Structure 1
Amino acid sequence: MTEYGYFLSCEEFTPAELVDQARRAQQAGFTRLAISDHFHPWNDAQGNSAFVWSVIGALSQAVDLPVTTLVTCPTMRLHPAVTAQAAATSSVLLEGRFALGVGTGEALNEHVHGDRWPSFEERGEMLEEAIGVMRELFTGQQTSHRGRHYTVDNARLYTAPEAPVPILVSGFGPKAAELAGRVGDGFVTMTPDADMVAAFRDGGGAGKKVVGGVKVCWSSNREKAVDVVHQLWPSELLPGELAQVLPTPAHFEQAGKLVTRDMVADAVTCGDEVEGHVDTVRAYARAGFDEVYVGQIGPDQEVFFDAYRELVLPALRR
């Protein structure tokens, strides 16, 4: 049975707001949390970019829900050994209720050290090596590694998880789905695409978890909601590899001008029609997803949680 979680956007909200949303999500009946990991927001209008590991520490003291990163890039901005330490500590704080969603990243976040931005093939190779390094470190044993991309010298996690942290691999195409099936404990993808789920299953993901997420904007004024999404999240509708290769929020703002208001109105669930929200979320269950995380865009968080507690989540569970 599909579980329904809430998605916390580090790009759009302050750390205190994220913790408050987590509490509201638990009270509303969401059973899990996911949280983004960014160095920059997608645009200046979003206006935030908290360090995710600090926020996860706060979440561990505020709620009892499992937490998953959607997603962390453990290859460039943070060395995989440091990412493993952060993930292990998060798992300990959450008493094992933590999963590490990982991906090949975006230049927006990973270029900040001045490194060149590799091709997808090279980033996939880096991610696979990084996952191997992190799995060794999660054992709590002393680890040394000398690979093509990473060196680890006599490293040991003294605050180690009781059980290995599950690693879920993100992807948006057949190559990434195959990689997730081969090296991951699960697959993260953001569209309810049954064919992509099948590619993951066929690539070694049989019996493993499939996780997705969707952003909505609940509001009694649908036109206002469309405006809010158009202002804050036009990046959701950018095609192809743009989201992976543009390096700054300013570039995303330039590209976002190609996204029209009508495109947003057609693509994003806005307004307060319960059936529309139910259909949007249920599409993931129909495509074979085990977990789906819903994020509310904009400031109307209280009305969103009230509506989902009273109307949407009960309908989904029926």
Structure 2
Amino acid sequence: MPRFGYTLMGEQSGPRELIRYAQAAEDAGFDFEVSSDHYSPWLMSQGHSPYAWTVLGAVAHATSRVELMTYVTCPTTRYHPAVVAQKAATLQILSEGRFVLGVGSGESLNEHVVGEGWPSVDTRQSKLVEAIEIIRELHSGDLVTYDGEYFRVDSARIWDAPDSPVEIGVAVSGDESIAAFAPLADHMIAVEPDAELVEKWSAEHEGESRKIGQIPICWDPDRDAAVKRAHDQFRWFAGGWAVNSELPTPAGFAAASQFVRPEDVADQIACGPDLDELAESVRPFVDAGFTDIALVQIGDEQQDRFLAEAAEPLLERIRALG
């Protein structure tokens, strides 16, 4: 039976609101919660981007049952992997073992801000390989010196290391990334319900692993309002990952999506009050073999009402798919 999660969408909500939503999502019955790790929102109309790790530390104390996950952190540019290893270890202790570190090769939107440029995808993936190796070594609690092509770690130790290593999920998109990361990571993360990707990962990865996906929905009692909100705040979604990883600013995403119509967004994202329709939109991920699927409820303005009125019956319908 797949597990279903709730997305703490930092691009559309402030930090205090995210903590309140995390509590309500746990009460509504979600199995896990994932947090974006952004420096900027996708579009200016979203209007937020608090520091994910501070939020997650507060969420770890505000909740008691749900698993927590970054979806995803780039541990190669804005953060040095040694610092990510320390943050992940601390969060694992604060959450009493409920944390999974989700990592990926990043997007220019969030990583260009430190002024180090934006490398090619091949370089980004090579850097991510080294980053995962460093994080693994540091989570042993041993003294680590690492001298790689991209990163150096000099006599570092995680002094507050968790009793059990933090599990790592990695975002993949094709054969090359699967070949690079399946031997290093515990779990697969992907943004498309691609059954072939799941099969290839399973063939390359030794042992049990989870396949973790995410899908946006836009619940609202008024379908027209839902479509309008999805278009206003989520039309960037239509660009696809090859585009979305390269654009550096919210203004760039606004320009790239200026000709995306509300009906185009409604064709891609289930919108409105029909819980059966919203649940059915999740089916491709279930059918593709994903074990964990996180929902994004688009927009801040209906989060409280979604969690209070729609989340529980929607989860019942989605779980029936499995």
Instruction: Pick the TM interval, shorter chain.
Output: over 0.9
- Per the TM alignment, residue 69 of structure 1 is displaced from its structure 2 partner at its CA by 0.3
TM-score (norm 2): 0.95
Q: Does 1:135 align with 2:118?
A: no
Question: Residue type of the partner of 2:38?
Answer: H
Q: Provide Cα deviations, 1:127-169, integer angstroms capped at 9, x if missing partner.
A: 0000000000001111001110000000001011111101100
TM-score (norm 1): 0.97
Counterpart pick for 1:311 among 285, 302, 313: 313
CA distance in 2, matches of 1:69, 1:240: 18
Runs (4+) off by over 3 Å: 306-310
Gaps of 5+ in 1: none
Which residue in 2 is equivalent to 1:280? 281
Q: Does 1:92 align with 2:93?
A: yes
For residues 240 and 19 of structure 1, do their structure 2 counterparts lie closer, same or farther at Cα, with a shift above 3 Å needed? closer
1:32/1:67 contact within 8 Å kept: yes
SS in 2 for 1:149: coil
Which residue in 2 is equivalent to 1:267? 268
CA distance in 1, matches of 2:4, 2:240: 27
Once the two structures are overlaid, the 10-residue window that deviates more, 275-284 or 136-145, is 275-284
Gaps of 5+ in 2: none
For residues 52 and 290 of structure 1, do their structure 2 counterparts lie closer, same or farther at Cα, with a shift above 3 Å needed? same
CA distance in 1, matches of 2:175, 2:265: 26
Which residue in 2 is equivalent to 1:302? 304
Aligned length: 318
Question: Residue type of the partner of 1:184?
Answer: A
Q: Does 1:39 align with 2:39?
A: yes
2:129/2:181 contact within 8 Å kept: no
Q: Does 1:225 align with 2:196?
A: no
Percent of aligned pairs sharing the same letter:
38
Which residue in 2 is equivalent to 1:214? 215
1:222/1:272 contact within 8 Å kept: yes
For residues 308 and 191 of structure 1, do their structure 2 counterparts lie closer, same or farther at Cα, with a shift above 3 Å needed? farther
1:107/1:117 contact within 8 Å kept: yes
The root-mean-square deviation of aligned C-alpha atoms, in Å, is 1.3
2:112/2:248 contact within 8 Å kept: yes
SS in 2 for 1:184: coil
- Per the TM alignment, residue 309 of structure 1 is displaced from its structure 2 partner at its CA by 3.9
Q: Provide Cα deviations, 1:81-129, integer angstroms capped at 9, x if missing partner.
A: 0011011100010011000000000011111121121111111100000
2:170/2:187 contact within 8 Å kept: yes
Once the two structures are overlaid, the 10-residue window that deviates more, 170-179 or 18-27, is 170-179
CA distance in 2, matches of 1:118, 1:228: 34
1:278/1:316 contact within 8 Å kept: yes
1:180/1:200 contact within 8 Å kept: no
